[in-house]
Every structure is written in structure tokens, then in C-alpha cells.
Amino acid sequence: MLKIENVHVYYGRIHALKGISLTVEPGEIVTLIGANGAGKTTLLRAISGLVPVREGTITFEGRPLTRLKAEEIVRLGISHVPEGRRIFANMTVRENLALGAYLRRDPKEVAESLERVFALFPRLKERLQQKAGTLSGGEQQMLAIARALMARPRLLLLDEPSLGLAPLLVRQIFATLKEINEQGTTLLLVEQNAHMALSVAHRGYVLETGRIVLADTAERLRASEEVRAAYLGG
């Protein structure tokens, strides 16, 4: 579904991604783990067209993405849940969700998507007329994911969905991500909480300073001494 080959990204003179290559197959949950500054967020932003790729290729279902604008990439079927949620705080929950569906034209299909996100996140239905900025951190994360799903993506990119959430809410969010995947959406997940990420993922890649240093099944990465020492607390 997604193929990244030898991708290099620079921020000015800083070489942020140094020849990244990876794949995501339809129906998978693939996770990227690594320390802060490893390049995980930059890679998601490169896929979404938010940072330019200087060298290498990114293809989605056989179509090259590197010359496309961000909105064209959304139209192809990729949605991005950014780090820090980036919801529209002064708009209601309903308005945020409507913005997620702005490229869609069939009101009946949009209504069906709305019902789907309410089934996944019942609390959002109770908060529909509430300003998004007044929601709790967990509810804002639910809204950010739900807004992305309103575009009906085939590939969902998630950047640190557990950031700043209480452990109980983290488990809830990850259970929902598994459910979204089981309903047919492929996920590429960036996550500091390597325990949780590897517990739901099929495969994983470990990034260090802009390079992939390990790639394997989630089960093998969980069992790896190297990964346990660096990311799983021993």
C-alpha cells in the first residue's frame, strides 16, 4: 500500500531523514518507535506532503506522492492525526468533524461516517455542541482521530496518540485503534509508548537519528534485548 524508498529530508542544513526505506501492506498496523528527534514525525509529515522530500520516492497504492500537495494526498486516501492533536479549539465538536469531511460530496455517506465515529467514540456524540477547546485531553485525542476518519482514509497516520494521557485512557485509545484497523483501515503509528505500540502492531521499525536500525515483526521486536533495553525499560 505504502512504499518509501531511500527518502532524505532536510530542515535547512539539518539532515533529518537519511535514506529511509519501508513498506506498509494493506490491513496492517505498522509502528515507528525511537527516541525524540529520531525522525518519526518528519517521516509522517513527508508522507502527508507537509515537508519536501529532497531525494527518494514515496508511493501510495502505486501512485507517487512526493510532488503532490497535502490536500491532494488526503484526497487519495491518507489522513494524518498530528502530534498535539491540533483540533480547532474555538469550533464545536460537530464543526471539527464536518471539517474532516470537507472533500466529500455525498451527505448520506458523510452521515454514515459520523455514525461510525460515534460508535467508536460515544463520548463525542454527547459533546457535539461543545467547544473542542473545553474537552479533556483524552476527548480531544478522540476528536482528532475521529476528524481524520471523517475523510474515510484507507491509510491513517497517527503521531503520538497517547501523548499526555492517563494510562487508562491510553489503553482505551489503543483498543479503539485496533478496532479501526479491524474495520479495514491500515495504520502507520508513531508512538513513544513502545509497549503499547508493539502490543497492537503487526510490524515495527526502530528509528535512530534519521535512519532505520531495526525492522521486524512486533513480536520479535518486543522480545529483542536491544529494543527492551532502549525502549521497553529493560
Listed range (17-31, 56-70, 99-113) with the worst mean pLDDT: 99-113
Q: Output the DSSP codes for 58-90.
A: EEETTEE-TTS-HHHHHHHTEEEE-TT----TT
pLDDT of residue 74: 94
Domain ranges of the chain: 1-76+153-234, 78-151
Fold of the CATH domain 1-76+153-234:
Rossmann fold (3.40.50)
Report whether 51 contacts 58 (CB < 8 A): no
CA 60: distance to chain centroid? 15
How far is Cα 15 from Cα 26, in angstroms, rounded to an integer? 30
Listed range (22-31, 101-110, 200-209) with the worst mean pLDDT: 101-110
How far is Cα 67 from Cα 65, in angstroms, rounded to an integer? 6
Q: What is the pLDDT of residues 101-160, one digit of tens each?
A: 887 778 888 888 889 999 999 999 999 999 999 998 889 999 999 999 999 999 999 999
Q: Nearest Cα to 41, choosing from 96, 1, 87, 80?
A: 80
pLDDT at 234 over 60: no
- Greatest extent of the chain over all pairs of C-alpha atoms, in Å: 51
Q: Please tell me which residue, 164 or 160, carries the higher pLDDT value.
A: 160
pLDDT of residue 165: 84
Q: What is the pLDDT of residues 83-105, one digit of tens each?
A: 877 898 899 999 999 988 887 77
Confidence bin at 233 (pLDDT 50/70/90): low
Q: Please tell me which residue, 195 or 234, carries the higher pLDDT value.
A: 195
Mean pLDDT (the chain) is 92
State residue 115 phi and psi, 5-degree precision: -65, -35
